[in-house]
Amino acid sequence: MAGAKIRIKLVRSPICAPEKHKKIVRALGLRKLNQVVEKPDTPGFRGMVAKIPHLLALSE
């Protein structure tokens, strides 16, 4: 799917998370709780989401 997008929402705070998890949250463009960003549905973004599923909610 060429134009497929995924919506990623930050649902838990990364304050007590390891530094690697915080960097992933920032790399996804998330800054505030309940913020939603749309990213292309690529293996790279899917891998980032798979690393921190306890902090994010995903919708297609």
- The CATH number of the domain holding residue 20 is 3.30.1390.20
Stretch (H or E) spanning 26: helix 19-27
- Domain span holding position 51: 5-59
Dump pLDDT digits (tens) for 3-55: 899 999 999 999 999 999 999 999 999 999 999 999 999 999 999 999 999 99
Number of domains within the chain: 1
State the pLDDT at residue 48: 97
Q: How far apart are CA 32 and CA 13, in angstroms?
A: 8
The pLDDT confidence band at residue 60, using thresholds 50, 70 and 90, is confident
State the pLDDT at residue 3: 81
The bridge status of strand 36-40 relative to strand 5-10 is antiparallel
Residue type, 36: V
State the pLDDT at residue 1: 56
